Structure 1
């Protein structure tokens, strides 16, 4: 038999491969990053659009609060008309007056709020001294702006068009 040498073999050191790099990323990571960026951009655009759309409503509601001084029905109904003009086409509501205007307002919220009080509105708007509860009329304007604006697509109906 042949004797084996007890000397260790002369092997070279192990060469491990380099650690994988993060760059360049695989296409799946790029797709994930692009979808996250697109989602964030869409969310930001929707928030900006919604703020811009609700700005006239928020301004009108802020101006109708009792602490800012709009206490007369004439100034409240004027503010209500301005707010409505921000959301509805001018040709649908600019010509409305009197009963047609009140019918339009009631139609947008789906319940009678202005037509039953038409005589009170006329007295409050055109008489210097009126015995009408002006606070309730201003609150009706506040309630209409809060409930009707921005308009729902199903409620948009022009009333009294010439």
Structure 2
């Protein structure tokens, strides 16, 4: 049989699949990858901002503790703690209620971060220690609780807490 006599036509092969345009699955994967990178970048920036503020704030607590160890002046120590906390809150949000004092101040701190609770001794030291001498101040307890409060209270939590308090100026 003669192959040229058969009524067959040449097979036309399809064009090779190119790399572009990509299939929809690749586009979806790229979008997910971009979203993950953006989320990780955002979380890293938040974490870094909080760590930077802690790097500046925690040495102030150390300095207050060292000053207390030298002079044992409880009013000065409590004033220094309140000043440090107010500086931290002001750095986090300019609209923080920094003019508060006493029980209102400690209630404000608890409203900002209700999960990072402070003990009665710490609350008493922050509320009343600046105005009267405390003969037996639990320095280690106060220091560790304030460090934990600062570590758990991110700038975003402060902004959220400040906005939840209504940004009303207290009656002074």
Show the counterpart of 1:151. 158
| 1:108 maps onto 2:112 in alignment | yes
- Preserved CA contact (<8 Å) 1:123 1:132: no
Show the counterpart of 2:90. 85
Whole-Å Cα distance in 1 between the matches of residues 110 and 28 of structure 2? 50
- Residues 1-37 of structure 1, C-alpha deviations (whole Å, 9 max, x = no match): xxxxxxx423499656266132333552563354235
Larger Rg: 1
Whole-Å Cα distance in 2 between the matches of residues 56 and 49 of structure 1? 10
Whole-Å Cα distance in 1 between the matches of residues 23 and 48 of structure 2? 37
Whole-Å Cα distance in 1 between the matches of residues 113 and 145 of structure 2? 11
TM-aligned CA deviation for residue 97 of structure 1: 3.3
- Preserved CA contact (<8 Å) 1:57 1:145: no
Distance 1:61 1:159, change over 3 A: same
Unpaired runs of 5+ in structure 2? 69-76
| DSSP 3-state at the match of 2:112 | helix
Distance 1:52 1:59, change over 3 A: same
TM, length-normalised to structure 1 = 0.58
Whole-Å Cα distance in 2 between the matches of residues 76 and 56 of structure 1? 19
Show the counterpart of 2:73. none
- Preserved CA contact (<8 Å) 1:106 1:115: no
TM, length-normalised to structure 2 = 0.56
Whole-Å Cα distance in 2 between the matches of residues 103 and 24 of structure 1? 61
TM-aligned CA deviation for residue 132 of structure 1: 2.6
Structure 1, 23-32 or 151-160: larger mean CA deviation: 151-160
RMSD: 4.1
Unpaired runs of 5+ in structure 1? 1-7
TM-aligned CA deviation for residue 53 of structure 1: 5.0
Show the counterpart of 1:3. none
Show the counterpart of 2:34. 38
- Preserved CA contact (<8 Å) 2:112 2:161: no
